[in-house]
Structure 1
Amino acid sequence: MDVLPDSLRTHRVRASSDSALAVRSVSRGRVAWEPVRSLWFTAMALGASIGGALTFSLSALVLFVASTATVLLLGHSLGMHRKLIHDSYDCPKWLEYLLVYCGVQVGLAGPLGLVRAHDLRDYAQRLPHCHDFLAHRQPFLIDAWWQLHCELRLQNPPPIAIEARIADDAFYRFLQRTWMLQHLPWALLFFALGGWGWVCWGVCARVTAGVFGHWLIGHFAHNQGDMHHEVRGAAVQGRNVRFASLLTMGESWHNNHHAFPGSARLGLYAGEWDPGWWTLRALERIGWVSRLRLPEDLPARPELHRLPEPAPAPCAFCQGLRARVLP
């Protein structure tokens, strides 16, 4: 019997300690069209593309950029991911609620649904094998259809035990029931201030960018990019998508995150820009966050191995100059 690594013993996903049985629980299933998810994304995309084109203005574009950056930074990166899912820092409950509420505005799911989806994928990717849906293993267009319009229906899905501080929280349960409706007050406010242009750009385009961008970076972060670390025995390795570090608020350092999931800092090495970490440090200075966890604060993982740094690519100009000078 192959035993699961110790890092999975405290995971929210509760499957068999036998890796073969655990693999079967996350690899046997079918991908099916999910109408609510599909229609939600399609409606937002149509509102962004058609409505946005018909109502474009500079103020609407500024609103789109500002609102998208805000919800991605404060909501998805700091609220949903680094706090709610991984609890990588401490903060007052009012701030946690505010950040998670901003995360709902990204348009992916409610807080409980996002925790379940993240943890199932995270657990499955650490096993020796998992379903292609969970691994982003299919070609680009098929993966896009699956992730944006479908859901994975496992034959025997493993139980996911979300801790009481999240699962029993009245505010989080309310957001889970109403996460789509939470965009309506902002749509009404934007309509009152700027008309349909602000609705199309401040709500539809923002949600479209958040949902589509989340899939797009996820696809590349599991298929292309450099690696500092390898998780031995894992079905999927995370990749660092360097060009997207600012656009994703540091979330694209996905190889670093696979290596140290509980770290509040994702850009760990020189030149790895991490706006989420910069914001956490600023909040720490004013006393709003504390106990920022770093890789050295996390339990050791025997399956984690540091890879040698690749040699720098040779300079084409220098090579050409050397060929002219040397006989």
Structure 2
Amino acid sequence: MIWLLMSWVFLFVEYAAAGWKGAEDSGVIALTPRIVAFSTFAVFFVGLGVGLLEVFFLDRLFKKYSLGRKVIFKFVFYFLFAHIIIFIFYPLAGAVETGASPLDDRILEKFSRFLVSVNFISTMVQLSFSLVVSLLYAAVSDSLGQNVLINFFTGKYHTPKKEERIFMFLDMRDSTTIAEKLGHVKYFELLGKYYQTMSDAIIKSYGEVYQYIGDEVVISWPIKRGLEKSRCVKCFFYIQNDFLKQAETFKKQFGVFPGFKAGMHMGEVTTGEVGALKTEIVFTGDVLNTTARIQSLCNQYKAELLISKDLYTQLEDYTTFQFHELGSMELKGKQQQVSILGVAHPS
């Protein structure tokens, strides 16, 4: 979408500066409605290609590099990629303009004039600018979280809002013992692998990472999205399944296989932007404290996942899981008791 919007901006600027007619001696293709339509189509799919390369290849390849080096390496790669795109799409655009074959001598001759003209430099500047904007967006989105960045741009939480949300507090088991065994540096590497392994499951269940707190992650869902098909509960078992697939990798790389436990609850929170030197979107409300208390009971009940009855009664899917009522618990710091259920996935 960034590439598409930027292309429209540049096309408008070119139209305002030069009109619809191209200059034959400069190799510029006339800016006709057909060319605009072709350009829109081409740039959209180029942007899609860049996105696919980013998500499935380059982001993982350069994951260990700093933000600055990552952006530079990706920019060099994409800059070379842009040259390939020009060599493919210019002849195609020429064919759209003239109706001739993309390999027609007239089109190739015009292309050769374009490559030595100032318009080629202008085109590369445009592509480079689109690259920088999209790469910076991707980098900032990775740091803040995609939905958080979008909410900042739209100003959704510029003023505090009340909303219903579901929360999952997921915590590593025996983290202190593991940290002592591995040491600080190796434990930090373990955390990176730990959070990376659960990422696909969170995305698959439409969850949003609210916070990473040491070895604990807080995942959140808008109420409707989380309850639909019981995605919020399925998220835990998606994560569990992905960890089982990586068990040998964890043992080989770190000598341990980290387990985890989680608590879930739903309720009303107030959401808004806070901070002076650093602005963040935060949730406040009793639901977060209650969820943390529920999660703290996992060891006591030897459970992997505990949820509140408030959440249980709202779920859409009861057949996929096994629920065990544990009764009403008096949670630390709360006057009212909370009914809790253990959740297991049938083998």
Greater share of strand: 2
Shorter-normalised TM range: under 0.3
Name the TM-score, length of structure 2 as normaliser: 0.26
Name the TM-score, length of structure 1 as normaliser: 0.27
Structure with bigger RCO (C-alpha 8 Å, 6+ apart): 1
Q: Which has the larger radius of gyration?
A: 2
